[in-house]
Amino acid sequence: MKVKTVELKGNKGVLKIEDTDVYFVNSLRRVMLAELPKLAIDDVIIYDNTSALFDELIAHRLGLIPIPTDLPILAFRNECKCEGKGCPSCTVRYTLSKEGEGVVYSGDLQPEVPSFAITETTIPIVELMKDQRVILEVEAVLGRGRDHAKWQVVLAPRYRMETVISVDKKRMSDAKAFVEELPEDLVELKGDKLELTDPSKAPMLESILDKNKIDFVTMTRDPTKLTFSFETDGSMDAKAALQESVNILTKKYEELRGLLKDL
């Protein structure tokens, strides 16, 4: 298998993967969605809320705020040495107190430990009118996407097979005329093949071919050459999410290998 990093910076990652099988890349995608742990607010204590929103709505919005997650120093609450009581190793606490006209943002959450300060600070929680206030305390714990969407780190991980567009050599004149009628910068004619200037526009070309019933251009997809892309919600960067997902997938394969040996 060959892997080329196209982009792995901030919250976005794009990889070119060759000489592999679709099922393997799909396994990585599913691990990112369901198995990758992160912090999310799970317990909310509201001391005062005179805003227009019910307590339950505010708690729901709080749960969806990305919480900075440093996995090496954290443990799941049910696996922690504190036996689920909620110590600094498994629980991150925040407080929020705001009064008067204005919008309450995610950045208004004040962490008990400064290193867990919210990075996505402009997510609106509730708008307050004059003389309204919100005072609350929350606890964030580790969880997985398979348990609830609020614990899902990676958003819409996806892969795309490389598109190969061939032209009937006997009808090259028709192909040249067809290319001239296409939107500018959609494809380039190189020999007996068409190349997309932007691979993500393959569905557009396919739609044009179907609509005009073009029979001298053929589109096929190579399942051994994939472009894998994903974004995180900001709770961890793309590189950390990818590395941890690969580690989780590796452990699962090792567990399966061990089970097969016992058969």
109-118, 156-165, 170-179, 248-257, range with the lowest pLDDT: 170-179
CB-count exposure of residue 43 (10 Å: 0-12, 13-18, 19+):
middle
pLDDT > 90? residue 261: no
Token digits of residue 253: 């394969």
Q: How far apart are CA 57 and CA 80, in angstroms?
A: 30
Smallest CA-to-CA distance from 96 within 47, 130, 141 is with 47
- What DSSP designation does 55 have? H
The arithmetic mean of pLDDT across residues 73-78, rounded, is 93
* pLDDT band per the 50, 70, 90 thresholds, residue 196: confident
Q: Is-same-fold flag (2-34+156-229; 37-151)? A: no
203 vs 237, residue with greater confidence: 237
pLDDT at position 258 is 87
Beta-bridged to residue 155, according to DSSP, are 231
- CATH 2.170.120.12 for domain 37-151, yes or no, is yes
> Tokens in use for 108?
């208004």
Q: What residue ranges do the domains of the chain occupy? A: 2-34+156-229, 37-151
**Side-chain-side CA neighbours of residue 115 (13 Å):** 6
pLDDT digits (tens, 9 = 90+) for 95-154: 999 999 999 999 999 999 999 999 999 999 999 999 999 999 999 999 999 999 999 999
Say how far apart CA 197 and CA 162 lie, in whole Å.
13
Q: Is the pLDDT of residue 195 over 90?
A: no
Which overall architecture, per CATH, does domain 2-34+156-229 show?
A: 2-Layer Sandwich (3.30)
